[in-house]
Structure 1
Amino acid sequence: MTHVARNIDLADKYTLEQGRAYLTGIQALVRVGFDRIRLDRRAGLKTGGFISGYRGSPLGGYDQQLQSARTLLRAHDIVFQPGVNEELAAAAVWGTQKVDLAGQGSTHQGVFGIWYGKAPGVDRSGDVFRHANASGTARLGGCLAIAGDDHLAKSSTVACQSELTFADLEMPVLNPADLQDVLDYGLHGLELSRWSGLWTAMIALADTMDSSGIINVDLDRHVFNRPLDVADPRGDSDLNKKIFLANRLEFEVSVRERRLPAAQGYARANGLDGVRFGSRRPRIGLVATGKAYRDLRQALDIIGIDEARAREIGLAIYKVAMSWPIEPNGIAAFARGLEKLVVVEHKRGFMEPQIKDILFHWPEHMRPEVWGKTTPKGAPFLASVRELSSADIVPALLAVIPEAQQGEDMRAAARRLVEQSVFAAGHATDARRSPYFCSGCPHSSSTKTPEGSRAMPGIGCHAMAEIAERATDGVVAMGGEGVPWIGQQPFSKDGHMFANLGDGTFYHSGSLAIRQAVAAKAHITYKILYNDAVAMTGGQVHDGPLSPQKIAALVRAEGVERIVVVTDEPERYDGANGLPAFVTVHHRDELMPVQKDLAAYPGVSVMIYDQTCAAEKRRRRKKGHYPDPATRLFVNDRVCEDCGDCSVQSNCVSVEPIETDFGRKRHINQSSCNKDFSCVSGFCPSFVWVDGAGPRKAAGRLDAHDLLAGLADPAIAPLERTLNLLITGIGGNGVTTVAAVLAMAAHVDGIETLTLDMTGLAQKGGPVTSHVRFAAPGREIEGPRVPLASLDVLIAADMLVAAGGETLAMTHRDRTRTVANGRVAPSAEFVLRQTQSFEAAKLARTLGEASLGFDAFDAAGIAEQLFGDAIYANMMLIGYALQKGLLPVSPLGIETAIRLNGASVAQNIAAVAAGARSPPIRRGSSGW
């Protein structure tokens, strides 16, 4: 395939008004606002927009993307104002629809509102949504509520499914299946809201929000039809009203009898639902929405059912855009003449009961069998817990497709999935890479408690207190930190409880928990960590003025009479104003005696632990915004006796084991060390302080110019079918950046691509995987996830993650080629247990058995030598894969993508070139 680099600009994602642009799901959400204003301006309307949500309950960085696009927001009359919490943000969005009702007029003809939050935020905001939805929307306004659901609780405390909540609130629910749908449904959602007077909800899952790809951004595509078969729901009286005691019962009637039918009419008039695949006269009908639609398409692809095969079988998919309330005419027309109707959806049945209601009164001979969570006879069929993968859907398809129409290829594909799952289960390593406190994390120090104490974790980074085995009680809902103790205390033999609380959570709602504890005269100590950032979700600033002094003043005003500050820098409080007179300040070395004193206090006490987030220190130091001590700490391995005290004192993942000729010793990983220096708190003569020095590196002698061009022309992997690539690594080490570079390189080269970043708590050193799928120009890619037994290229930046069951299930020994980093970083297990339950050699053997070809080299070690930082190892692995002919993108495409990314350009280009020249470590050699 010939690749020609195209002229691409990073601003295309928001500024292009025709053609195709590469963007992420989150960026598609941002673009919704811009396109809404552009369409209004084309129509001669002067409208504005208002976006609000809670920063600590994000949709994969939606708020950060909005902040970075603030210049464009201003140009489009869009205001981004985060809320202190989700329900207050929802109330602010509600207010956008009442501008013209205030009696003072407006600067704009209408203002749209967008609310965002995760599922817990939906729960918290239910009362606001119920009132706002009932009171209506403006004709040229409209409101969209975007809910981030987490089906597998990867970044939530419980599994989430918000559709049923929205249905109870009587808000129509749109469910996008891919990036194109995110943009299109977002615009339809606002238009639907304008037409019907209802708020519209849109479900946002990681498979769309954390994916990236290329979509059509032509503004001319967006034509919104008003239904002709239903009356204008506003009729002769506007539905947008203020709620008063005198009119409150009117809203129930208008929502149920006028507005919801109007929403269904809108879906019908705009063809939001319809047959999107297969036969036009089917006997077997499949119904799906959102992510389930993509999973279903992928399952069909796995067993070899394309459009032509589907027509032969008499099979079709009816794709639903608005999963509640389902538009009845379309689904009835689709069901008519079917023998079987199969509803494929994740979690609890949502569409299935609606469809059964629609079909219930049909004569029995006309009514198809309905398969969903159960078979027509009531036996379990599709699971209602966790989620349905494409591999889970395959056996369900074979159960409804007649045996006579199942070819041997279908059955062989199904067997291959089972065989690979068995292989993965039998070969996967038992060791896990668990998320953990960052190096130097203040939570790592602040969550320690005196022996025998009880402690409740908080939300966010505090949840890792459980992983560190410091939390004795389970998690609670945000804003209720410590409050369960009020119900326990009268009946418990324990006399005291510690409760962890973050500064952002305190400002969000946690202050009410302290008020409740004071009112109940509870014997509890709140440990409020002030780390100067909303750390877990990207290091955003607080939405309001907050400082240790303000926290102390607020809790004092709530009635707390025993308050202390513990900090790593008590000297900052010398002569400082703002603390109540009786508040004492202590060094963090005094943490244990201070806590014992607070535990003895008979009432509510508060400890404010003041230490800046370690990850934020690192980010700010890179930008020159935070002091960077010209000091580094090393371990003299000839003196070290591997006693482990440094790990115990610091609880730090940067203190790592190292094998020497004299046995196992310790060393400090200079690439991850955040210079907290708590590892020297004990007594150990092996530490060496070095002032004014940095890591030795050769990068200064490397000329990035033409490095890639100087390589022998690599063979470019053909795209006869979708090529599936997976990167496995450690959070914070640039895995998702590498995936983004590969995807942008594909865009530059003019081929199709989809990516998906699976992160969860990966930003805290946990496992991260990035799926990258490539296809020839114009060929559709069935979803961003790599299916089971279908992986072509595995980039094992971390072999521990790569040797896990989830990754091994994607590999196939007749297909997968693996390129691995031969060094395996220690996991949190070493901090907690002073041992590791895995060996690099064993992991390598496992990956070798799972692969058609396997190569590894010490990418991390070479990166440290060349660049002074192991983070460049990932780019080196890409360079190696490129030179081996495993990638479908060109060196020029990769170089262009790196330059567009703009971060450490010379070093990253040099890393790709260095990787292409690196010799592999052969299995069984001394390199292991």
Structure 2
Amino acid sequence: MLQADRDRAAGRHTAGYVTGYRGSPLGALDQQFAFALGELTERGIRFQPAVNEDLAATAVWGTQQAGLNGDGRYDGVFSMWYAKGPGVDRSGDPLRHGNLAGSSALGGVLVIMGDDHTCESSTTAHQSEYSLINTFIPILNPAGVQDILDFGLYGWALSRFSGCWVGLKSVHDTVEASASIAIDRDRVQTRDPADFALPQGGLNLRWPDTPQEQEARLHQFKLPAVAAFVRANPIDRQVMGNSAAPIGIISTGKSYLDVRRALLELKIDDERARALGVKLYKVGMPWPLEANGLKAFALGTRKLIVVEEKRGLIEDQVKQILYGEANPPVIIGKRDELGSVLFPVEGRLDATQMALAIGDRLLAESTDKPLEEALLAIRARLEKTQLKKTPMRRIPYFCAGCPHNSSTVVPEGSRALAGIGCHYMAQWMDRETATFTQMGGEGASWIGESPFSHTSHVFQNIGDGTYFHSGLLAIRACVSAGVNITYKILFNDAVAMTGGQSFDGPLDVMRISRQVHAEGVDVIAVVTDDPLKYPPKADWAPGVKVYDRTLLARVQRELREIKGTSVIIFDQTCAAEKRRRRRRGLMETPNERLFINTAVCEGCGDCGTQSNCVALTPV
């Protein structure tokens, strides 16, 4: 909205476009856009959730083409694409094509990548910078809420000038935060660099345009234009200490905030930093790293400490930029002065780790009693914390009333494969469910395993959101390969795991039956909590049979004997989504309740075993 206001104030007739996959919510970003629909519409900004991430990226590519044929309604369209790490991975092809093609002069593209560094809500720990570097997309890394706003405006300006798409890194530490911020359309001011001559035809998207011309333009002009823009509009800066300090610390994004916390633990403010001879450099664009500002910061230093979470990105660039400079400093980061691990790649870094690493090196330079005492206090606190026994951990589990409590059960003698979604948790329950795939690959692993296994048949769980996203292709692949597999499509009427979002398109049980039948699946069963809810003339695929969920075991035993690919559609609304809808008055609250007669209950726990319900507790 700030970008729209800036363009209007400058007399530009532009529009905005935001897209991404709802299953990549980035802190419920999609829901916030939905809440602000009125304000967005007023400013000509369209929020268009996508079927999946790579199609969303392709749509963004299309926004930059608006007007190429002289039929554009606006001067340009500034666009924003968002995805979590897995979505960035699967979208490499459209991101590469889009960045090579470029942005329009009054459009611009922001690529928002949501990274889960510690794999808290993903199946792998993610660091997406290298995926964007592989497509030559410059990357901004904000440290806090104010930076997110400022860097967003900066990114669109950079994208418009250079013709590149621009990445913006997001982690929950900086996104799921609150702060008092300045919202001012004129807060971020940029200017075109005076030391860069635009080539003939400029840097922005055009047509016709060959792949060879795009590659040459990217490397000869667009990336140099990025460097020139950042020189003219510095986004990296020294934020603490004296410029002549012998020790320098370099960090970015979330790690920069951790460094500031580490310095607080060491009782180091700006005055103390000057006295101790240490300075801090905050990097806003970790790739490509701006060289002039770095050289000025490094001048006169004896040691540079590069602090960054996950794989080193800035450190190697620092070494490359300073190589050959007179009296270069010792550079440490992922490894210390002796080659031992200093800041590990795996897991996460915290302020305590940083405080010890920084404090030890400052103390080695000069004796300082307050610093020595601060280090002793940190180590004592750390030792005390480590002596505590690890508390009992409660692993994630299905919600009370979750349809997966029933749908993920398999008959004796069978086994199932997991996938992306809440049903992933069946792997650590008594469900004979093991191994999983990436989103959309559900069942394809069995194509490779089955020729080399004595097992003749497996069940494959797949959520309706994943099915709509990309999972139908895997079903097509299994039909084509002729493997014996029964898909259990868990239709719970929502993208449940990421906030209960709706599908971005038409999807119901009847439609799924027709789709899989058209792909060559002949045996299709529907299992539901209410067989009577379907209309008498429901438009089922040929041969579909509807069963009550109490008959699931029988249905599964029958289908596992079928040769080829078969499908069970388990239709029951997500329990959490039911509660949301009931609170909003969108679904009737049932007037039936179950009670346990404590006078006759023997406390055997069988009710919990049979229902798998986490809400049942012994009395």
Shared fold (TM-score, shorter chain, > 0.5): yes
SS at match of 2:181: strand
CA distances 1:852-910 after superposition (whole Å, capped 9, x unpaired): xxxxxxxxxxxxxxxxxxxxxxxxxxxxxxxxxxxxxxxxxxxxxxxxxxxxxxxxxxx
Q: In structure 2, what is the equivalent of residue 295 of structure 1?
A: 258
Q: CA deviation at 1:238?
A: 4.9
Q: In structure 1, what is the equivalent of residue 149 of structure 2?
A: 183
2:204 to 236, 239, 243: 239
Measure, in 2, the Cα distance between the counterparts of 1:558 and 1:414.
65
- Amino acid aligned to 2:95: F
Measure, in 2, the Cα distance between the counterparts of 1:191 and 1:613.
43
Q: In structure 2, what is the equivalent of residue 450 of structure 1?
A: 411
* Residue 192, structure 1, aligned to residue 158, structure 2: yes
Q: In structure 2, what is the equivalent of residue 315 of structure 1?
A: 278
> Are 1:287 and 1:344, in contact at CA under 8 Å, matched by a contact in 2?
yes
> Are 2:2 and 2:184, in contact at CA under 8 Å, matched by a contact in 1?
no
- Amino acid aligned to 2:117: H
SS at match of 1:332: helix
CA distances 1:613-632 after superposition (whole Å, capped 9, x unpaired): 10111111111111111222
Cα RMSD (Å) of the superposition? Answer: 1.4
> Are 2:203 and 2:217, in contact at CA under 8 Å, matched by a contact in 1?
no
Measure, in 2, the Cα distance between the counterparts of 1:316 and 1:205.
26
Q: CA deviation at 1:387?
A: 1.7
Measure, in 2, the Cα distance between the counterparts of 1:413 and 1:564.
67
Q: In structure 1, what is the equivalent of residue 137 of structure 2?
A: 171
SS at match of 2:179: strand
Q: CA deviation at 1:243?
A: 6.3
Q: In structure 2, what is the equivalent of residue 477 of structure 1?
A: 438
Q: CA deviation at 1:361?
A: 2.0
**1:750-761 maps to which residues of 2 (within 5 A)?**
none
Measure, in 2, the Cα distance between the counterparts of 1:404 and 1:238.
49
Q: CA deviation at 1:414?
A: 2.9
Measure, in 1, the Cα distance between the counterparts of 2:402 and 2:338.
55
CA 1:546–1:183: 2 relative to 1, 3 Å = same
More deviation, 407-416/460-469? 407-416
Q: In structure 1, what is the equivalent of residue 478 of structure 2?
A: 517
CA distances 1:721-754 after superposition (whole Å, capped 9, x unpaired): xxxxxxxxxxxxxxxxxxxxxxxxxxxxxxxxxx
- Amino acid aligned to 2:565: V
> Are 1:457 and 1:471, in contact at CA under 8 Å, matched by a contact in 2?
no
CA 1:471–1:254: 2 relative to 1, 3 Å = farther
Q: In structure 2, what is the equivalent of residue 162 of structure 1?
A: 128
Q: CA deviation at 1:271?
A: 1.7
Q: In structure 1, what is the equivalent of residue 568 of structure 2?
A: 607
Measure, in 1, the Cα distance between the counterparts of 2:556 and 2:384.
50
SS at match of 1:111: strand
Q: In structure 2, what is the equivalent of residue 117 of structure 1?
A: 83
Question: Identity of paired residues, percent?
Answer: 47
SS at match of 2:238: strand
Q: In structure 2, what is the equivalent of residue 619 of structure 1?
A: 580
> Are 1:150 and 1:206, in contact at CA under 8 Å, matched by a contact in 2?
yes
Q: In structure 2, what is the equivalent of residue 44 of structure 1?
A: 11
Aligned length: 619
Q: In structure 1, what is the equivalent of residue 26 of structure 2?
A: 59
CA distances 1:589-620 after superposition (whole Å, capped 9, x unpaired): 00111111111111101000000010111111
CA 1:583–1:514: 2 relative to 1, 3 Å = same
1:324 to 282, 287, 295: 287
- Amino acid aligned to 1:480: G
CA 1:377–1:648: 2 relative to 1, 3 Å = closer
- Amino acid aligned to 1:99: A
* Residue 80, structure 1, aligned to residue 41, structure 2: no
Q: CA deviation at 1:409?
A: 3.3
Q: In structure 2, what is the equivalent of residue 757 of structure 1?
A: none
Measure, in 2, the Cα distance between the counterparts of 1:94 and 1:555.
31
Q: In structure 2, what is the equivalent of residue 352 of structure 1?
A: 315
- Amino acid aligned to 1:143: V
Q: In structure 2, what is the equivalent of residue 498 of structure 1?
A: 459
**1:863-882 maps to which residues of 2 (within 5 A)?**
none
- Amino acid aligned to 1:41: R
* Residue 94, structure 1, aligned to residue 61, structure 2: yes
SS at match of 1:635: coil
* Residue 573, structure 1, aligned to residue 534, structure 2: yes
- Amino acid aligned to 2:386: A
SS at match of 1:49: strand
> Are 2:203 and 2:221, in contact at CA under 8 Å, matched by a contact in 1?
no
- Amino acid aligned to 1:43: A
Q: CA deviation at 1:577?
A: 1.5
2:362 to 401, 412, 432: 401
> Are 1:563 and 1:607, in contact at CA under 8 Å, matched by a contact in 2?
yes
Unaligned runs of 5+ in 2: none
2:36 to 44, 64, 69: 69
> Are 1:135 and 1:242, in contact at CA under 8 Å, matched by a contact in 2?
no
> Are 1:310 and 1:316, in contact at CA under 8 Å, matched by a contact in 2?
yes
CA 1:242–1:119: 2 relative to 1, 3 Å = farther
Measure, in 1, the Cα distance between the counterparts of 2:86 and 2:63.
23
> Are 1:54 and 1:116, in contact at CA under 8 Å, matched by a contact in 2?
yes
Measure, in 2, the Cα distance between the counterparts of 1:649 and 1:452.
18
CA distances 1:794-814 after superposition (whole Å, capped 9, x unpaired): xxxxxxxxxxxxxxxxxxxxx
**1:376-387 maps to which residues of 2 (within 5 A)?**
376-387=337-348
* Residue 584, structure 1, aligned to residue 545, structure 2: yes
SS at match of 1:219: coil
Q: In structure 2, what is the equivalent of residue 259 of structure 1?
A: 222
Unaligned runs of 5+ in 1: 1-33, 658-664, 666-928
Q: CA deviation at 1:471?
A: 5.0
> Are 2:191 and 2:233, in contact at CA under 8 Å, matched by a contact in 1?
yes
> Are 1:174 and 1:321, in contact at CA under 8 Å, matched by a contact in 2?
yes
CA 1:311–1:656: 2 relative to 1, 3 Å = same
SS at match of 2:598: coil
Q: In structure 1, what is the equivalent of residue 352 of structure 2?
A: 391
**1:776-925 maps to which residues of 2 (within 5 A)?**
none
CA distances 1:154-186 after superposition (whole Å, capped 9, x unpaired): 001000001111111100000001111000001
Q: CA deviation at 1:429?
A: 4.7
CA distances 1:691-710 after superposition (whole Å, capped 9, x unpaired): xxxxxxxxxxxxxxxxxxxx
CA distances 1:205-249 after superposition (whole Å, capped 9, x unpaired): 0001111111111233221121112223x54445312465xx210
CA 1:558–1:451: 2 relative to 1, 3 Å = same
1:143 to 92, 109, 120: 109
Q: CA deviation at 1:379?
A: 2.9
> Are 2:105 and 2:204, in contact at CA under 8 Å, matched by a contact in 1?
no
CA 1:406–1:553: 2 relative to 1, 3 Å = farther
Measure, in 1, the Cα distance between the counterparts of 2:96 and 2:352.
38
Measure, in 2, the Cα distance between the counterparts of 1:382 and 1:133.
33
Measure, in 1, the Cα distance between the counterparts of 2:83 and 2:208.
25
Measure, in 2, the Cα distance between the counterparts of 1:446 and 1:344.
46
Measure, in 2, the Cα distance between the counterparts of 1:226 and 1:423.
55
- Amino acid aligned to 1:275: Q
> Are 2:450 and 2:456, in contact at CA under 8 Å, matched by a contact in 1?
yes
CA 1:203–1:628: 2 relative to 1, 3 Å = same
SS at match of 1:287: strand
* Residue 213, structure 1, aligned to residue 179, structure 2: yes
Measure, in 2, the Cα distance between the counterparts of 1:325 and 1:442.
48
> Are 1:273 and 1:330, in contact at CA under 8 Å, matched by a contact in 2?
yes
> Are 1:135 and 1:243, in contact at CA under 8 Å, matched by a contact in 2?
no
CA 1:238–1:373: 2 relative to 1, 3 Å = closer
CA 1:392–1:607: 2 relative to 1, 3 Å = same
Q: In structure 1, what is the equivalent of residue 606 of structure 2?
A: 645
2:236 to 265, 273, 287: 273
CA 1:404–1:172: 2 relative to 1, 3 Å = closer
Structure 2-normalised TM-score? 0.98
CA distances 1:562-613 after superposition (whole Å, capped 9, x unpaired): 1100000011135141111301111110011111111111110100000001
Q: CA deviation at 1:252?
A: 1.2
CA 1:471–1:266: 2 relative to 1, 3 Å = farther
SS at match of 1:55: coil
SS at match of 2:594: strand
